[in-house]
């Protein structure tokens, strides 16, 4: 591996999952290169699990202007001569990374030679589509890579999980029919706890075990759901990404707000009911998949349990997951 590629990973976990197809395309296009992902702490567990990156570097900063962290990061970024940089974040933090690598004001002729695929005007691979902010994130990445001459963007796929699995560590044996209640969320808008509990009770009435799933722990929410529905099993913070893929393959359904875990379920072809409210736009970064249904309201509290039950009216322990 002589060439080294840098990928600036999206800082939101759900968007990193949406980037799976683009990362697979990069791996195919740069098959002999070493691909390094630059990740925030919040997405490190995902970046390290994906099979498309040869190495993952952590942004060491503890705050936006952590001077020591900035200096350490600058030294690391400048220690390698990257033949290309693919910026999948395209935000203020991307500009910080750019200036750490190339200085505050590169001369125009130097700027034009920088192989930066992203939102830096004047660079060699500038993604200059004025409509990109209105695209779904997956489509935006595909458009960005085409500008950079990468046409191998692939359909998002999680079948690699079956090749990588060494053990199933989640405390649930999958020996009974179940559905997943996704408790993670990436906005301040929350679906009411009592509705999660009511949905869990309904699943039990259909002879389905409610699994409370999320990459983060949700002790207060999970405890209240289990208080009302003792049959619910709390796996939040206990099922790594690969385990979550296997759960999604076997689940009768997955219900909850848009999140990284919900995106995994959608890619795994699980039957998904995605709840979108304030701060979530399914047209921009909602889960995609042939079995995805979306309930989109101004706030999550405006989505009633009855609407979900209508979509899942045929769901029971004997239904085809």
CATH number for the domain spanning 79: value is 3.40.50.2000
> Could you tell me if residue 320 is inside a domain?
no
Q: Quick one: pLDDT at residue 87?
A: 98
Residues 254 and 295 in one domain: yes
Q: Quick one: pLDDT at residue 316?
A: 86
Range of the domain at 272: 161-311
| Closest among 204, 157, 156, 159 to 181, alpha carbons compared | 204
> Could you tell me if residue 317 is inside a domain?
no
> Could you tell me if residue 321 is inside a domain?
no
Residues 305 and 213 in one domain: yes
Distance separating alpha carbons of residues 189 and 161, to the nearest angstrom:
31
Residues 171 and 305 in one domain: yes
Q: Quick one: pLDDT at residue 319?
A: 67
> Could you tell me if residue 217 is inside a domain?
yes
Q: Quick one: pLDDT at residue 44?
A: 97
Q: Quick one: pLDDT at residue 320?
A: 53
> Could you tell me if residue 149 is inside a domain?
yes
Domain boundary among 124, 157, 190: 157
Residues 169 and 120 in one domain: no
Tokens of residue 77, six digits: 């970024």
> Could you tell me if residue 316 is inside a domain?
no
Residues 285 and 189 in one domain: yes
Q: Quick one: pLDDT at residue 243?
A: 92
Distance of CA 4 to the CA centre of its chain: 24
Q: Which residue has the tokens 């919040």?
A: 42
Longest dimension (CA), the chain: 68
Convert the chain into a string of H (helix), E (strand) and C (coil): CCCEEEEECCCCHHHHHHCHHHHHHHHHHCCCCEEEEEECHHHHHHHHHCCCCCEEEECCCCCCCCHHHHHHHHHHHHCCCCCEEEECCCCHHHHHHHHHHHCCCCCHHHHCCCCEEECCCCCCEECCCCCHHHCCHHHHHHHHHHHCCCCCCCCCCCCHHHHHCCCCCCCCCCCCCEEEEECCCCCCCCCCHHHHHHHHHHHHHCCCEEEEECCCCCHHHHHHHHHHCCCCEECCCCCCHHHHHHHHHHCCCEEEECCHHHHHHHHCCCCEEEEECCCCCHHHHCCCCCCEEEEECCCHHHCCHHHHHHHCCCCCCCCCC
Residues 152 and 13 in one domain: yes
The number of distinct structural domains making up the chain is 2
- The string over 265-291, giving b where at least 16 C-beta atoms fall within 10 Å of a residue's C-beta and e elsewhere, is bbbbebbbbbbbbeebebeebbbbbee
Q: Quick one: pLDDT at residue 172?
A: 83
Write out the chain's pLDDT in tens, 321 residues: 589 999 999 999 999 999 999 999 999 999 999 999 999 999 999 999 999 999 999 999 988 888 999 999 999 999 999 999 999 999 999 999 999 999 999 999 999 999 999 999 999 999 999 999 999 999 999 999 999 999 988 889 999 998 877 767 778 888 899 999 999 999 999 999 999 999 999 999 999 999 999 999 999 999 999 999 999 999 999 999 999 999 999 999 999 999 999 999 999 999 999 999 999 999 999 999 899 999 999 999 999 999 999 999 999 878 655
pTM over 0.85: yes
Q: Quick one: pLDDT at residue 64?
A: 80
> Could you tell me if residue 318 is inside a domain?
no
Asked if 82 and 4 touch (Cβ cutoff 8 Å), the reply is yes
Domain boundary among 136, 157, 178: 157
Q: Under 8 Å CB-to-CB from 253, ≥6 apart: which residues?
A: 179, 180, 270, 271, 272, 273, 312, 315, 321
> Could you tell me if residue 138 is inside a domain?
yes
Residues 166 and 304 in one domain: yes
Asked if 231 and 177 touch (Cβ cutoff 8 Å), the reply is no
Residues 303 and 210 in one domain: yes
Residues 172 and 247 in one domain: yes
Domain boundary among 125, 157, 189: 157
Residues 176 and 87 in one domain: no
Tokens of residue 16, six digits: 């990193």
Residues 74 and 188 in one domain: no
Residues 239 and 127 in one domain: no
Q: Quick one: pLDDT at residue 1?
A: 54
């Amino acid at each position: 591996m002589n060439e080294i590629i840098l990928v600036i990973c999206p800082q939101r976990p759900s968007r990193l999952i949406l980037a799976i197809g683009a990362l697979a395309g990069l791996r195919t296009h740069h098959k002999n290169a070493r691909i390094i992902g630059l990740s925030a702490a919040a997405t490190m567990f995902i970046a390290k699990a994906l099979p498309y990156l040869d190495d993952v570097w952590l942004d060491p900063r503890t705050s936006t202007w952590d001077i020591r962290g900035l200096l350490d990061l600058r030294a690391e970024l400048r220690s390698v001569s990257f033949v290309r940089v693919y910026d999948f974040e395209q935000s203020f933090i991307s500009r910080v990374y750019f200036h750490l690598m190339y200085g505050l004001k590169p001369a125009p002729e130097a700027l034009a030679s920088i192989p930066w695929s992203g939102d830096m005007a004047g660079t060699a691979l500038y993604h200059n589509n004025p409509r990109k902010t209105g695209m779904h994130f997956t489509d935006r990445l595909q458009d960005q890579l085409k500008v950079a001459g990468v046409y191998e963007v692939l359909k998002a796929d999680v079948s690699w999980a079956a090749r990588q699995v060494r053990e199933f560590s989640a405390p649930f044996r999958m020996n009974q029919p179940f559905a997943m209640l996704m408790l993670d969320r990436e906005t301040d808008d929350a679906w009411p706890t009592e509705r999660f509990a009511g949905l869990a009770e309904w699943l039990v009435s259909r002879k389905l075990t409610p699994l409370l799933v999320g990459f983060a722990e949700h002790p207060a929410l999970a405890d209240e759901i289990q208080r009302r529905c003792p049959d619910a099993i709390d796996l939040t913070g206990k099922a790594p990404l690969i385990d979550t893929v296997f759960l999604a393959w076997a689940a009768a359904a997955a219900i909850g707000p848009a999140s990284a875990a919900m995106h995994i379920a959608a890619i795994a072809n699980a039957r998904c009911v995605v709840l979108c409210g304030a701060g979530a736009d399914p047209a921009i970064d909602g889960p995609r998949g042939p079995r995805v249904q979306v309930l989109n309201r101004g706030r999550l509290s405006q989505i009633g349990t009855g609407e979900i039950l209508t979509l899942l009216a045929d769901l029971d322990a004997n239904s085809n997951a």
